Amino acid sequence: MRIETQKYNEIMVVQLQGEFTAEAVKSFEDIISGVFAAQISGIVLDMSKVVQLDSRALEQLLDLNEQCRERLRQLKLAGLDETCEKILEVTRLLPQFDTYSELTEAVKSFV
């Protein structure tokens, strides 16, 4: 999986591309550690190019959500495709996250 970050004022956008599976967890954790080191008020995960989520990825999303709450930050998911949204729905995790269909909507929601 490829991971890129871009900061918009106080918001960090983390764009994920490819398969978000157990093999990508270490890279994701490393990037997120750096994100928390920056002065931010929230994180938007751009999921528009994620083609697969496995159980380990779901655990990571839940862990990140919890870390954000503990640090008084907000986490938002943007651009979930039909498959990823269905996975979150079936696992009953979808209500745990603020989701937006477009990245710009998610970023603007912090204002």
Q: What per-residue confidence (pLDDT) applies to 39?
A: 82
Assigned CATH for 2-104: 3.30.750.24
How far is it, in rounded angstroms, from Cα 47 to Cα 14? 9
Mean predicted confidence (pLDDT) in 95-101: 96
Q: Is the pLDDT of residue 74 over 80?
A: yes
Could you tell me which of 57, 65, 76, 97 has the C-alpha nearest to residue 11?
76
Q: What per-residue confidence (pLDDT) applies to 27?
A: 93
How far is it, in rounded angstroms, from Cα 74 to Cα 50? 21
Q: What per-residue confidence (pLDDT) applies to 46?
A: 97
Task: Specify the pTM.
Answer: 0.92
